[in-house]
């Protein structure tokens, strides 16, 4: 079954404690990205990756890091989380950029609370 799997699904952490949200896809997609969803703001892209070892900033990259060492994995790293990073995070993948009409597949979301 085609899947984008992200973990953890729910996390409460404290300010400044580094955390990683993992993301894995089983569709051999080249393109992966991370979004955050906040009330009234829709989905905003944090980072994306066109392929292995190729990553680029989205609209709201501050406070986040990513890596793409393998095609299927695209972890999101919060080196020093702050309360304004409390949000619902989605990992997504597609066979193309998405702008050319490729369907984007989303994970189930990770609820992150930073206190």
DSSP secondary structure letter of residue 84: G
CA separation for the pair 48, 90 (Å, rounded): 12
| Cβ-based nearer residue to other proteins, 58 or 63 | 58
Single out the residue of 25, 29, 30, 33 in contact with other proteins (rule: CB under 8 A).
33
DSSP E strands in the chain: the ranges are 4-7, 10-13, 19-25, 31-38, 42-51, 54-57, 65-66, 76-78, 87-94, 105-106, 110-114
Q: Which of residues 34-93 bind other proteins (CB under 8 A)?
A: 35, 40-45, 48, 50, 56, 58-59, 88, 90, 92
The answer to whether residue 105 forms part of the interface with other proteins (CB under 8 A) is yes
**Which residues contribute to the site for other proteins (CB under 8 A)?**
4, 33, 35, 40-45, 48, 50, 56, 58-59, 88, 90, 92, 97-101, 103-109, 111
């Amino acid at each position: 079954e085609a899947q984008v799997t992200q973990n953890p699904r729910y996390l409460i952490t404290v300010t400044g404690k580094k955390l990683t949200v993992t993301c894995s896809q089983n569709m051999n997609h080249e393109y992966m990205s991370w979004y955050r969803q906040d009330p009234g703001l829709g989905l905003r892209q944090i980072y994306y990756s066109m392929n292995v070892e190729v990553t680029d900033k989205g609209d709201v990259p501050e406070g986040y890091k990513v890596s793409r060492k393998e095609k299927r994995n695209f972890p999101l790293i919060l080196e020093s989380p702050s309360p304004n990073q409390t949000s619902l995070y989605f990992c997504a993948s597609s066979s193309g950029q998405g702008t050319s009409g490729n369907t984007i597949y989303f994970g189930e979301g990770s609820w992150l609370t930073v206190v």
